Chain A
Amino acid sequence: MSWTDLQKSMASEAYIASDDLAIALHLSINLGRPILLEGAAGVGKTEVAKVLAACHQTQLIRLQCYEGLDAAQAIYEWNYQRQLLSIRAAAEDGQTGREVEERIFSEEFLLERPLLAAIRQPEPPVLLIDEIDRADEEFEAYLLEVLSDFQVTVPELGTIRATSKPIVVLTSNGTRDLSDALRRRCLYTHISYPSMEAELAILHARCPGVEARLARQIVGFVQTLRNEDLEKVPGVAEMLDFAAALIGLGIADLTSDPTLLHATLKTLLKTQEDQAQVTHEVTARLAGRAA
Chain B
Amino acid sequence: MTRVTRFAGRDPGPTARVAGFISHLRANGLSLGVSETALALDALTHVDAAVPEHAKRALKAVCAGCREDADQFDALFDAFWMDAGRVKQRMAPGTTKGNDAVHSSRHAKGDHEAGDAGSASAPDGGQGDAESDGEGKLVAVEIRNLSRKDLRDLVRPEDVAEAEHVARRMGAALRDRRSRRRVLSRKGRDLHFRRIIRKSLSTGGEPIRLIRRTRPDRSRKIAAICDVSGSMSVYAQVFLSFLGGLMRADPSSDAYLFHTRLVRITEALRDKDVMRGIGRMSLMADGFGGGSKIGGCLDQFSRTYAKSFVDGRSVVLILSDGFDTGPADQLAAALERIRKRGAKIIWLNPLKGWRDYEPIAAGMAAALPHIDLFSAANTLDDLAGLEPELERL
Give the interface of A toward B (CB within 8 A): 2-3, 19-20, 23-24, 26-28, 30-31, 33, 35, 38, 68, 70, 80-81, 84-85, 88, 174, 180, 183-184, 187-190
Contacts and interface: CB of A to CB of B under 8 A. Distances in A.
Nearest to B209: A81
B312 interface: no
Contacts of A174: 67
Given A180-B31, A188-B64, A26 B46 contact: yes
B11 interface: no
Contacts of B39: 31, 33
Contacts of A30: 46
B57 A85 contact: no
A143 to B, nearest CB: 16
Given A19-B53, A88-B206, 5 more contacts: A24-B60, A27-B43, A28-B61, A81-B208, A188-B61
A184 B30 CA distance: 11
B85 interface: no
A78 to B, nearest CB: 11
Contacts of B64: 188, 190
Given A20-B57, A189-B61, A84 B47 contact: no
5 contacts: A19-B57, A26-B46, A35-B61, A38-B67, A184-B65
Contact of A84 (B58, B69, B208): B208
Nearest to A23: B57
B67 A190 contact: yes
Interface string B1-39: 000000000000000000000000000000101001001
Most buried by A among B54, B57, B69: B57
B207 interface: yes
B187 interface: yes
Contacts of A189: 61, 70
B67 A23 contact: no
B61 A187 contact: yes
B43 A31 contact: yes
A23 B54 CA distance: 8
A27 B61 contact: yes
Contact of B47 (A3, A28, A88, A190): A3
Given A84-B206, A188-B70, A180 B61 contact: no
The size class of the interface chain B forms with chain A is 20 to 34
Interface of B: 31, 33, 36, 39, 42-43, 46-48, 53-54, 57-58, 60-62, 64-67, 69-70, 187, 206-208, 210
A88 to B, nearest CB: 7
Contacts, number: 66
A27 B62 contact: yes
B70 A190 contact: yes
B202 to A, nearest CB: 14
B157 to A, nearest CB: 14
Contacts of A38: 66-67
Contacts of A2: 47-48
Nearest to B48: A2
Dominant secondary structure of chain A at its interface with chain B: helix
Contact of B66 (A20, A88, A188): A188
B267 to A, nearest CB: 15
Most buried by A among B39, B43, B69, B70: B43
Nearest to B63: A188
Contacts of A68: 187
A81 B64 CA distance: 47
A189 B64 CA distance: 8
A188 B42 CA distance: 16
Given A68-B187, A84-B208, A27 B47 contact: yes
B47 A26 contact: yes
A20 B60 contact: yes
B210 A23 contact: no
B208 A70 contact: no
A183 B65 CA distance: 6
A31 B46 contact: yes
Nearest to B210: A80
A178 to B, nearest CB: 8
B47 A23 contact: yes
B42 A31 contact: yes
A24 B187 contact: no
Contacts of A27: 43, 46-47, 58, 61-62
A10 B325 CA distance: 71
A142 B32 CA distance: 22
Nearest to A68: B187
Nearest to A33: B39
A93 to B, nearest CB: 17
A281 B233 CA distance: 50
Nearest to A189: B61
Given A23-B47, A31-B39, A70-B187, A180 B70 contact: no
A174 B206 CA distance: 46
Contacts of A3: 47, 54
A2 B66 CA distance: 26
Most buried by B among A33, A80, A187: A187
Contacts of A33: 39
A253 to B, nearest CB: 38
B61 A23 contact: yes
Contacts of B42: 31
A189 B70 CA distance: 8
Given A27-B47, A38-B67, A187 B206 contact: no
